[in-house]
Amino acid sequence: MMITAENVHFSYKEKVLENVNFKIDEGEFVAILGPNGAGKTTLLKLIMGLLRPDEGVIRVFGYDPARNREKIAKLVGYLPQREVISLDLPLTVRQVLSIPFKAKGIKINEEKLIEALSEVNLQNKLDSLFSKLSGGQQQRILLARALIGKPKLLLLDEPFNGVDVPSQEKIVDLLNELAKKGTTVIVVVHNINLILHHVTKVMLLNRRIIAFGEPNDVFTEENIVKAYGSSIPLVICEEGYTHPLYGDHHG
């Protein structure tokens, strides 16, 4: 198994995650959904090793990520929910891509930068000013940065927020292709419709895992009410199962 969680608990001042258990295999495309404060971002940080469980065990490639952050960092690409890059600074795309690696003493050559940009169809933007790009292009640049090391596991936290529809579609196509080639992709989203037909599994999370499995099994009215409460509207899809219209719910 690529990722396993056994009886994981985590708290800040209050309990955020309780008794979380799951297994994710290589090449799976997993969507994580849940209401605001459900613990979705926290779970990604635990997988990255940025946080350590209060109780329980997480294993990523067989490692405890919190104790092996350097090894995990070489195998995992991470796109955080909100990356603050000052648009007042005249940073080029080249600098946005390479500065975080330089800060860690890692040299990234131009060939790798262009290769990563090619993945998001922006290879001609290497020396463009980051601040002059559209919001969708900026997000694709940040996704390219997460792909520079050719990660075996890709973690994305709300990658479609503030992104125009054409860029959303390009990102979805890329993630689908990466998963088909064996990269494990885990995406936190508040709107499943963008990737519904591509994901292999869905995790419905609200501090505990309400359901985890194929979309057809997860999106039942009972599970959605457990996760979100009875006020969430449902829609019947062509496949015959229900899923929420998540609107502006974030987590």
Degrees, nearest 5: CA angle 249-250-251: 135
Q: Model-level pTM? A: 0.87
Which CATH code of 1.20.81.30, 3.40.190.10, 2.60.34.10, 3.40.50.300 fits the domain covering 3-244? 3.40.50.300
Degrees, nearest 5: CA angle 251-29-26: 125
Q: Is 40 helix (H, G, I), strand (E, B) or coil?
A: helix
Query: Which two structure tokens, joined as six digits, stand for 218?
Result: 């997860």
Cα–Cα distance between 168 and 171 in angstroms, integer?
Answer: 5
Say which residue the tokens 């985890």 belong to. Answer: 212
Give the start-to-end residue ranges of the domains of the chain.
3-244
Q: What is the pLDDT of residue 230?
A: 65
DSSP state at residue 6: E
Cα–Cα distance between 210 and 229 in angstroms, integer?
Answer: 12
Cα–Cα distance between 211 and 225 in angstroms, integer?
Answer: 12
Report the DSSP beta bridge partners of residue 55.
9
| Average pLDDT of adjacent 10-residue blocks, the chain of 251 residues | 92 94 95 92 94 96 92 88 68 88 77 90 92 87 89 92 84 92 93 89 96 93 87 46 42 40
